[in-house]
Every structure is written in structure tokens, then in C-alpha cells.
Amino acid sequence: MIPRPFGSEQVPAFEESPSDALVVRHLYVHLPFCAHRCGYCDFVTVVGRRGQHAAYVDALLAEFELERGLLAPELETVFLGGGTPTFTEPRELERLLAVLPDAAEVTVEANPETVTSALAALLRRHGVSRVSLGAQTFRPELLGVLDRVAGPDDVRRSFYHLRDAGFDNISLDLIYGIPGQRPSDLAADIEEALALRPEHLSCYELEAKPGTRFTHAHGEELRRQAEALEGYFESVVERLVAAGYRWYETANFCRAALADADGRDLRSRHNLAYWRGRDYLGLGIGAVSTIGGERWRTTPRLGPYLAALREDRLPPRELEPLPESVQREERVMLGLRLDEPLPVATVAGALDEKALARLERLGLAQLVPLGPQHARGALTLTPRGRLLGDAVTADLLA
Amino acid sequence: MDLGRIRNFSIIAHIDHGKSTLADRILELTKTVSGREMRAQVLDTMELERERGITIKAQAVRVNWKDNELNLIDTPGHVDFTYEVSRSLQACEGAVLVVDAAQGVEAQTVANAYLAIENNLEIVPVVNKIDLPQADPDGAAAELAELVGGKQEDVLRISAKTGEGVAEVLDAIVERIHSPSGEPAAASRALVFDSSYDQYRGVVAFVRMVDGAFAAGEPLQAMAQGTRFEAEEVGFFSPTMKAAETLGAGEVGYVITGLKDVSRLRVGDTLTTEANRASEPLPGYKDVKPMVFAGLFPTDSDDYPDLRDALERLKLNDAALFYEPETSQALGFGFRCGFLGLLHMEIVRERLEREFDLDLLVTAPNVAYRVLERNGEWLEVHNPAEMPRELDAVEEPYVRASIIVPKDYVGPVMELNNDRRGRFDHMEYLSPERVLLAYELPLAEIVLDYYDQLKSRTRGYASFDYDVAGFREGALARVDILIGDEPVDALSMIVHRDAAYARGKALVERLRKEIPRQYFDVAVQAAIGSRVIARETVKAKRKDVLAKCYGGDISRKRKLLEKQKAGKRRMKQVGAVEVPQEAFLAVLNLNDGKK
């Protein structure tokens, strides 16, 4: 059972979203290149092809030019994800960063083996304010299972390179549930991560996604492990909360404002935008944009993407209309991942009242008052409800 | 027609001993059908009958042989249809008893022979398939003579396939079977021995005129039910429907009643004329009592009205079929149906699925129980869920079973029967090689998989037949299944006390595997009254959430959630526990065990 304190102690006041929803304040840029493909990965990645980094950045910049009209003059967040953004030829990465607009939060994802002091300085120079470092695990044998190149020392070295360059907002990614990982391995991983005192931690259970090499090799083992793995998530949450981290999203933790010297809100602002249902523009292959009730996904294929943008045409996209009802459904689905309560009025009609009453009785969901302007209050999940978030959400949706 | 020139007879035989082939040869030989019209097994009209090699419903065909009018009345071949067989036999004065020269007397041969003897029929014993290389006509004839108490030289030897000896069978029918003994001048009486439904003409009754005559257009009445109607047409089959002006005493034919309500004319009833009413009905009408019960539920609940209509239609041609609405918390709306036996149940299920295109769930069958309640009253229970928990005694139906096996398999059969609470009655050597074992067994022990077991333990050599011997007291217990403290009606079962623990445990274990984990621990228990005899726990799930969900994952994630949601919609609520329909199907569905 999860101790009561975290969550309740920290239920923050609901933050109103900006009213002009059609002006996009969040930009995602996909940099697909990797040194190699990790077995468990199902992201859109491109291995090697150093010769194409320049062409790809050209295309990104062309796409940016075509789409910049959608963006607000002042962006809140920019996020460079991958692939391995820091594997991109430094010259090209620099060219891209120089053109991309500045924002209150600019995050770049990095793999430990790619982070040198030069790279850290480059990022810093171009206004990157936050780095998300893919540590995954500190056990060498488990890094092997994941096909990761970096060793435990690379993780620590890269972390200090970033600190030395002046980064005061660093996130570490950890993966648990790796085949062969014992509870003691996980506990040690968390202690190693905490020792670095990162501002932010993302902890993911390893998913055996269909079609990956990894699932082929380890799927059966993961299924056998499934029941034991349930407890891993709980222990991660317990340990991080005890260490002063705020469990602000299902898989994300940040050092609590109280625990930060400057009292900062260290949540990922970019990802918060997704979870709050804000619009965002995505650039690059396989990138997804959601704007004004429409979602589209750019082709994941490098060739057609480059070809279109060479001619200043928009690349092929797959379009998905999002009717109001679907938007509300997503709002519930995403909003309930957060520790901040979801105002019921914003998702009216999407909730099954009977299920809600049942989940309240079972101690999985609760309604909290929001103040006089929100008559119906707000919905939040209890810690246990959050561990069971998918099932609870499926129940809650009308 | 002069009564003295009429012969009414049936052909009775064990399955596959050649009844239908003999009927076909008779139709050919009497030129009732031309060779060109000849279709193998003309009498078995229904597709299903063809496939299973059995005949479900009786029909009558008139043939002429040497200036005699012969009415061949077809009978069902299986003991489940004893009532129908005896109705058909009641319309006859004689029966041709056919035995396969290679197989000899089988369990059904015995049962059929006894039925014919009980009905005072003259038996014409026939050994068929003498053309087969492995035929043993002498051996079969000896067994047959022994069975009917006749002389071996009176047993005819034929090959229905080649036609050899079939003319002699027809001669024997004329010579040995006596003509009907009705009163042409008396008030008209006819026995309804079968009926069928035609969507344009309504109920068609197959009748044996005993006394008097019916004319087309005459107002008639069914004596037991009181139903009145006008005979729109009378006639006979030869082999297709041929209208006639009258049906006279001793004859067999049909009456088109025009009745649209299938329940208004029952097999076994007596028809008489309004103008000259008979004072007494013919003997023999009785409501048959089904002994085997099962729930039939449409897989798609929208099909419930179709299932109801289909059962109503089947009931017309099947007086023995019983049904009443049943509502199950687990399975929704359906019917509790009563059957004469397992084969009857199987045939009804197949007809519903094939002829009416219904997709059905059939629950594991149970038998009828008689319960002595605390208030001293007897109650008949067709559904374990209705069994009172407080009672003084329970009786269950027993059957007299005849099992015929090669002598090497006597041991395994005895072992099986002991396991099934069988009581040995006696054993007879039909020949040096073949043994008849007579047992009394609780019907409940044979309704599940007895026949399959018997076949597998005797490598398929056993033949098996039974008839109901009556109710006997048994040490029976009602076992309830509770999911999260809620009893589940559809899963209750009545089992012998000695088997209760094992059956309860097996069911509970199966359910534990089928019920998905919930937000809380769910106890799955088997209980007799308040005493829990088996318990399993479906552990609460501790985690059910996908770790990653960013901008590119939202659509995929939403679709997964919608799938999860759709899965939940298909769940049945048992108290606070959500149980997928499939879990019930897995433990209940009779079809499942077979496929």
C-alpha cells in the first residue's frame, strides 16, 4: 500500500489555461538520428546516415518556415526529441537551434554517450534550459539487455558535464521492469539516480511493444514477470516521494517546489501542455501536431519528407479529426495522469456518473472543491487510483 | 379399401442397420417412385437426418403390393424418441425388425423390439446386408430369433442395397401382419401420430384412421385438447402428398387442419368428427415428461425473440420439447428447455442453429429432480438454481441401461459404471463373443460425457441404450458458486455428495483463471449451504496504467482506452465484480467441451 502523504500534501491549485487556444505556444521538433537502434524502441528513428543530417535540418527549417504562422509570437516551450537529438552532427544541431524561436523552456533529449563538455556548452549557448538524459539504468548488465551503448559511468559523467555547463534543470529517464532486473537492482538504480540530485525524473516501465526486436526476444519473459512488476511501480513512487519528489504525472517526478532552493516549479512545462490538452505543433518525420481540433502525423519516412520540403511543399501527413467528444475524452484520459485536479465542468458529458460514484466508494477517485466559480468541483485520482489509472479512466468515461 | 387388404407397418432398426435403404427399395419395388425419381433415402427429408443417419420425425407412405395397400410408417431410431416411436407403432399392426448381418443385435434393436412387443405388434425379423463380406447371417439370425422369441428359419435374409429378398419381405408383411381391426361404421376416430407445419396450409396432422372415415371439408375436433377445425384436405403420401375424398377405417394419411397455432394440436390426440362424435378417445395420449434440461441462450441478446419463435415452431413437430423463459444474471434472457434425452437435446440445438440460423449458448445439462420440501410437499426442479436449500429428500431419475460389448471390454465398462454410481443388474451372453450388460444408472451420470467415455473405453465397440426407470432417492447436494460473496445462479449445480468437493474445486479453479483481476481481491467459492467447500482468490491488480503518454502517443493511447472501455461494457456485473461473458461461457458452455 502506498503511504498517504504524497499526493494529498501536494494537490496544487488548478491553473487556468490561456484562453486563445488557437495560437500555438508549444513546439516539438523531432531529430530521428541514432547511433544504433535499441531493441525496445518503437520511436521513429534513423540509424547512421550522417550524410543526411544537413539535409534533414534543411527540411526542418523549411517546414518551420511553412508552419510558423501557426505559432504565437512568444512560445512557452520548445522540445527537441528523438531519436537522439544530441547524436545529430553538432554543426547541424547548432544551425537548427540558432533558428528555432526562444521559449520559456527549451528542452533537449540526450543520450549519455553523446554528451561532451563541448556539446553541453553548445546547448547552453543556444538557450537550451533543460536537458532530459536517457540514463535508463545504472546496472551494466541491464544496459546490455536494453542494447544501450552508454555505461553507468557515462551517465554520471554526462550529468556533470551538463551541470558544469550551467544546467540547473536536468531530468533523468529510468526504465524498470527490464528482464532480469531484481527488486534490489531497481532500488539501487533509484539511489544512484537520487545521488545525482536531478531536478526531474521520468520512470517508465519497459513496454514490450509489438514488432520490436526486444519483444521478440523477451516478450515471453516479460509476460511471466508481469505480476511481480506491478509492485515495482509502487516502490518507485514510494521511494521518490520519500526523497522529496512530487509525483506530478503517472511516470514523472520533479523535485518539489519546497525542496528546491529557488522554489521553482520543476515540472516539464512542455509535457504539461500535452496533459492539459493544449495545442502543439510538431516538426520532423513522425511528428504529431494537434491544433484546433485536428491532429496530424507527418510521414515517418525520411525520403518523402526530404523530397517534399526540398520543393517547399508540406510533407505527407495523416490527418485525424478530433470531434469535441473525443477531445473531452482525451482531456479526461490525460488530465487524470496529473496530480492536479481536473475541473469537472471542462469535461462535462464525458464522465459516467455511476462509475464515478463507485470509484469514489472504492477509494480510487475523489471530487474536490475548486472554489465558487467551479460549481461541480474537480476530479482527482487517489494514489492507488493513479496506479490503476487506465482501468479507472476506462470506467470513468461515459 | 377393404380393411382386409390394408397392412400398416413400421421398420425398426439400430442406427445404420439399413432401415432407410430398405424403405427406398420398397418404394422402388412397388413402383411408388420411378428409378429416375429415386433419391437415396427418400423418406429422410430433413437435411439433418441425412447427415446424422437418423430419422427424427415419422412420416407415412402408401405403397401397393399385389393388390394390397401397405402403409409404411417411418419411426425415429433412437430411444430418446420412445414416445414418438410408440405413437408411430400404435398406428401399426406390425413391424419389420432389421438387424445388420455383420453387427448383430444392438442395444437399440433390443429396446425397439421390446417396444414393438409391448405394442402387440407382429414382428417380421430381417437380417440385412447379407452381401457384406464380413456378414454373419446365421449368427445374426440366431440372435434375432432369440430376441423376438421366434424360430431362426422365420428370419428373412436380405440385402436392401442390392434388393435381394426385399420382395419376400413385402410378402411376409402381407402374410404375417394382420389387417387393421377398425369399425368403418362406428363414430370416426383417428390417432394423430405425427404432425408438421406448412406456412401456407398450417398444421398438417398425420393420422391413423381407426374407426369411421373423414371426408374433405368435414368439421373435426381434437378430443384431448378440444381444438375444432375443418379438414381442408385429406389424403396420403405416395410418396408425395395426394389428396383423396376420404380416409377410411384402417387407413393412414394426412389431414390439413388450417390451424395456425402450433400448440393447438398435439401428437397422441384423437380426432373425431363434429357430426358424429366418438364418446371415448383412443388410448395413449399423454404429456411426455422431459428428463434432461439445459438453458439455451442466444449469444446475441437481440436474437431472443427469434429463439422464442424458433422454439415455438420446433415444438409443433416435437411434442416432447419443453421450454420456459429463463433469466440468468450471467447469460441474460433465454429458455430452460426440457428434452427426452441427450440426442434429443443435440438435435434441437442443431436444428435451431441450422434451420433458424441462431447462435446459441447451451449450458451443461442437468436432469429433473424431485424434492421433498420441509413442508412435506414434493416439488419437481428443472434448474439447480431453483433447488431449495432446505429439504428433506431429493430423488433423481434412474435409467435402465443396456450396454452391448465384445466380451473383452466387460471389465472397462463395469469400471466406468461403478464410477458413475451404477448398480449392476445382470449380464447375458448374446453370443460367445458379445455380452449384454444391464445396469441401473442415475441419469445425471450419463448426461454429461458418459457416452464419450463408453466409446473411448471400448474403442467404439459398445452400443448403448437406456430407458427411464423412475426416480430414486440420492445423496445429492446443491453446490452454489459465489463470486465475491454473490451466488451466481447459472453456476449452481446438483451433484452427488461424494463428487461435490472435486466438482466445486474444479469449477472454482477454472473461474479464477477466467475472471480478470479487479480493483480488489475477489473470492471465488463453492459452497454447500453455508459451508464453503472450495475457495480461490482473484488477486486485486496493483497497477494498470501505461507509463508513457506524450504528444505522439495520445491517439494510440486513446484507442487502447476505448478498447478497454468496450471490453468493460461486455462485462456482466456480479455484485461489485465485473465478469466477462466469456468466463461464464468457459465454464458453462456444453459446446466448448466437445470442440
Residue ending a domain, among B273, B300, B334, is B273
Tell if the CB–CB gap between A330 and B552 is shorter than 8 Å.
no
Alpha carbon distance B428, B240 (integer Å): 45
Residue ending a domain, among B473, B498, B515, is B473
Query: What integer pLDDT is reported at residue B36 of this predicted model?
Result: 54
Tell if the CB–CB gap between A250 and B547 is shorter than 8 Å.
yes
Using alpha carbons, select from B3, B75, B469, B44 the residue that is nearest to residue B267: B75
B205, B269: one domain: yes
The C-alpha cell of A173 is what? 529517464
Tell if the CB–CB gap between A393 and B561 is shorter than 8 Å.
yes
Cα–Cα distances in Å, from B152 out to A326, B71, B178, B257? Answer: 85, 27, 21, 46
Alpha carbon distance B456, A387 (integer Å): 52
B246, B383: one domain: no
Query: What integer pLDDT is reported at residue A12 of this predicted model?
Result: 44
Angle at B59 between CA B53 and CA B62, to 5 degrees: 120
Q: Which residues of B touch A364 (CB under 8 A)?
A: 519
pLDDT at B25 exceeding the cut of 70: yes
Residue B433 is assigned to a structural domain of this protein: yes
Is A57 within 8 Å of A95 (Cβ atoms)?
yes
Q: In tens digits, what is the pLDDT along chain A, a chain of 398 residues?
A: 444 333 434 444 444 444 454 689 999 999 999 988 888 787 888 887 778 999 999 999 999 999 999 999 999 999 999 889 999 999 999 999 999 999 999 999 999 999 999 999 999 999 999 999 999 999 999 888 888 877 889 999 999 999 999 999 999 999 998 888 889 999 999 999 999 999 999 999 887 777 777 778 887 877 777 777 788 999 999 999 999 999 999 999 999 877 777 889 999 999 999 999 999 999 999 999 999 999 999 999 999 999 999 999 999 999 999 999 999 999 999 999 999 999 998 888 899 999 999 999 999 999 998 877 767 889 999 999 999 999 999 999 98
What CATH number does the domain containing B565 carry?
Answer: 3.30.70.2570
Tell if the CB–CB gap between B554 and A288 is shorter than 8 Å.
yes
Alpha carbon distance B158, A143 (integer Å): 84
Is B250 within 8 Å of B209 (Cβ atoms)?
yes
Tell if the CB–CB gap between A387 and B557 is shorter than 8 Å.
no
B62, B204: one domain: no
Chain-centre distance of CA A22, in angstroms? 23
- What three-state secondary structure class fits B423? strand
Around B472, how many Cα atoms within 13 Å sit in the side-chain half-sphere? Answer: 16
Residue B319 is assigned to a structural domain of this protein: yes
What CATH number does the domain containing B231 carry?
Answer: 2.40.30.10
Alpha carbon distance B443, B565 (integer Å): 44
Is B283 within 8 Å of B291 (Cβ atoms)?
no
User: Does the CB of A66 have a partner CB in chain B at under 8 Å?
Assistant: no
The C-alpha cell of B410 is what? 466387460
The C-alpha cell of B194 is what? 405425427
Query: What integer pLDDT is reported at residue A14 of this predicted model?
Result: 45
**Which amino acid is residue A308, in one-letter code?**
A
CA of A231, closest CA in chain B: separation in Å?
7
The C-alpha cell of B191 is what? 390417432
Tell if the CB–CB gap between A229 and B555 is shorter than 8 Å.
no
B531, B449: one domain: no
Q: Hunting for cell 475477489 — which residue is that?
A: B522
Tell if the CB–CB gap between A394 and B549 is shorter than 8 Å.
no
Alpha carbon distance B260, B13 (integer Å): 35
Q: Which domains does chain A have, with CATH numbers?
A: 15-275 (3.30.750.200), 324-396 (1.10.10.10)
- Facing A230 at nearest CB: one of B543, B546, B557: B543
Please name the residue ranges forming H helices in A243-284: 269-275
The C-alpha cell of B467 is what? 430407458
Instruction: List, as one string, the DSSP characters of B501-565.
Output: HHHHHHHHHHHHHHSPP-SS-EEEEEEETTEEEEEEEEPPPS----S---TTTHHHHHHHHHHHH
**Which amino acid is residue A85, in one-letter code?**
P
Angle at B559 between CA B557 and CA B561, to 5 degrees: 70
What CATH number does the domain containing B411 carry?
Answer: 3.30.70.240
Name the residue in chain A with its Cα closest to that of B558.
Answer: A330
Name the residue in chain A with its Cα closest to that of B546.
Answer: A390
Tell me the residues of chain B between 542 and 581 that have a Cβ less than 8 Å away from chain A. Answer: 542-552, 554-555, 557-558, 560-561, 564-565, 568, 576
Query: Which tens digits make up the pLDDT trace of A207-255?
Result: 777 777 777 888 787 777 777 778 899 999 999 999 999 999 999 999 9
Dihedral, A108, A112, A117, A118 alpha carbons, nearest 10: -60
Query: What integer pLDDT is reported at residue B40 of this predicted model?
Result: 53
Q: Hunting for cell 368428427 — which residue is that?
A: B273
Alpha carbon distance B58, B73 (integer Å): 7
CA of B551, closest CA in chain A: separation in Å?
6
Name the residue in chain A with its Cα closest to that of B516.
Answer: A391
Name the residue in chain B with its Cα closest to that of A291.
Answer: B551
Residue B53 is assigned to a structural domain of this protein: yes
CA of B515, closest CA in chain A: separation in Å?
15
Tell if the CB–CB gap between A295 and B554 is shorter than 8 Å.
yes
Cα–Cα distances in Å, from B46 out to A58, A108, B26? Answer: 76, 75, 20
CB neighbours of residue B113 within 10 Å: 22
- Facing A387 at nearest CB: one of B545, B548, B554: B545
Q: Which residues contact B11 (CB under 8 A, 6 or more apart)?
A: B19, B22, B23, B72, B74, B75, B95, B96, B98
Task: List A342's β-bridge partners, or say none.
Answer: A379
Chain-centre distance of CA B300, in angstroms? 26
Residue B286 is assigned to a structural domain of this protein: no
pTM strictly above 0.90 = no
The C-alpha cell of A101 is what? 524561436
Q: Which residues of B touch A393 (CB under 8 A)?
A: 561
Across chain B, mean pLDDT equals: 85
The C-alpha cell of A3 is what? 503511504
Alpha carbon distance B384, B479 (integer Å): 9
Question: Which domain range does residue B248 map to?
Answer: 189-273
Q: Which residues of A touch B565 (CB under 8 A)?
A: 394, 397
Question: Is the bond preceding A83 in cis, omega lying within 30 degrees of 0?
Answer: yes
Residue B287 is assigned to a structural domain of this protein: no
Q: Which residues of B touch A234 (CB under 8 A)?
A: 542-543
CA of A372, closest CA in chain B: separation in Å?
32
The C-alpha cell of B12 is what? 425398426
Residue B184 is assigned to a structural domain of this protein: no
Query: Which tens digits make up the pLDDT trace of B76-115?
Result: 655 556 666 777 788 899 999 999 999 888 887 887 788 7
Query: Which tens digits make up the pLDDT trace of B261-281?
Result: 767 888 788 999 998 888 888
Sheet holding A378-381, edge to edge: A342-343, A378-381, A365-368
Alpha carbon distance A105, B301 (integer Å): 56
B216, B79: one domain: no
Task: List B255's β-bridge partners, or say none.
Answer: B205, B234
Query: Which tens digits make up the pLDDT trace of B148-184?
Result: 888 889 999 999 999 999 999 999 999 999 999 888 8
B68, B85: one domain: yes
Is A40 within 8 Å of A178 (Cβ atoms)?
no
Is A107 within 8 Å of A131 (Cβ atoms)?
yes
Tell if the CB–CB gap between A387 and B543 is shorter than 8 Å.
yes
Tell me the residues of chain A between 357 and 386 that have a Cβ less than 8 Å away from chain B. Answer: 358, 362, 364, 386
B469, B484: one domain: no
Tell if the CB–CB gap between A391 and B550 is shorter than 8 Å.
no
Mutation for testing the B interface, residue in A45, A201, A274, A360 having most B CBs under 10 Å = A274
Residue B216 is assigned to a structural domain of this protein: yes
Q: Which residues of A touch B546 (CB under 8 A)?
A: 207, 390
Question: Is the bond preceding B239 in cis, omega lying within 30 degrees of 0?
Answer: yes
Name the residue in chain B with its Cα closest to that of A283.
Answer: B552
Query: Which tens digits make up the pLDDT trace of B194-239?
Result: 877 777 778 888 899 999 999 999 999 999 888 999 999 999 888 7
A97 φ/ψ angles, rounded to the nearest 5 degrees = -60, -35
The C-alpha cell of B464 is what? 448403448
Beta pairing class for B189-198 and B202-211:
antiparallel
B201, B309: one domain: no
Tell me the residues of chain A between 326 and 355 that have a Cβ less than 8 Å away from chain B. Answer: 326, 329-330, 333-334, 337
Tell if the CB–CB gap between B541 and A271 is shorter than 8 Å.
no
Residue B281 is assigned to a structural domain of this protein: no
N-terminal to C-terminal alpha carbon distance within chain A: 29
- Facing B561 at nearest CB: one of A204, A333, A387: A333
Tell if the CB–CB gap between B568 and A230 is shorter than 8 Å.
no
Q: Which residues of B touch A236 (CB under 8 A)?
A: none
Mutation for testing the B interface, residue in A298, A360, A390, A397 having most B CBs under 10 Å = A390
User: Does the CB of A318 have a partner CB in chain B at under 8 Å?
Assistant: no
Query: What integer pLDDT is reported at residue A158 of this predicted model?
Result: 96
Alpha carbon distance A116, A87 (integer Å): 11
**Which amino acid is residue A357, in one-letter code?**
A
Using alpha carbons, select from A213, A146, A151, A148 the residue that is nearest to residue A177: A146
Task: List A80's β-bridge partners, or say none.
Answer: A29, A108
Query: What integer pLDDT is reported at residue B287 of this predicted model?
Result: 62
Query: Which tens digits make up the pLDDT trace of B176-205?
Result: 999 998 888 899 999 988 877 777 778 888
The number of residues making up chain A comes to 398
The C-alpha cell of A108 is what? 533537449
Please report which helix (H) or strand (E) contains residue B554, including its range: helix B554-569
The number of residues making up chain B comes to 595
Angle at B45 between CA B101 and CA B251, to 5 degrees: 85
Alpha carbon distance B376, B66 (integer Å): 64
B359, B434: one domain: no
Q: Which residues of A touch B543 (CB under 8 A)?
A: 229-230, 233-234, 387-388
Name the residue in chain B with its Cα closest to that of A387.
Answer: B543
Is A115 within 8 Å of A163 (Cβ atoms)?
no
pLDDT at B480 exceeding the cut of 90: yes
B522/B262: higher pLDDT: B522
Q: Hunting for cell 558535464 — which residue is that?
A: A161
Please name the residue ranges forming H helices in chain A: 5-8, 53-67, 90-99, 117-125, 140-145, 152-164, 183-195, 213-242, 269-275, 302-310, 324-335, 353-361, 383-387, 389-396
Radius of gyration of chain B (CA): 28
Domain count for chain B, please give it: 5
Alpha carbon distance A105, A269 (integer Å): 7
B30, B104: one domain: yes
- Facing B549 at nearest CB: one of A231, A286, A337: A337
Please report which helix (H) or strand (E) contains residue B22, including its range: helix B19-29
Tell if the CB–CB gap between A330 and B558 is shorter than 8 Å.
yes
User: Does the CB of A389 have a partner CB in chain B at under 8 Å?
Assistant: yes
CB neighbours of residue A168 within 10 Å: 14
Residue ending a domain, among B473, B495, B522, is B473
Q: Is B516 exposed, middle or buried (0-12, 13-18, 19+ CB in 10 A)?
A: middle
B351, B408: one domain: no
B313, B404: one domain: no
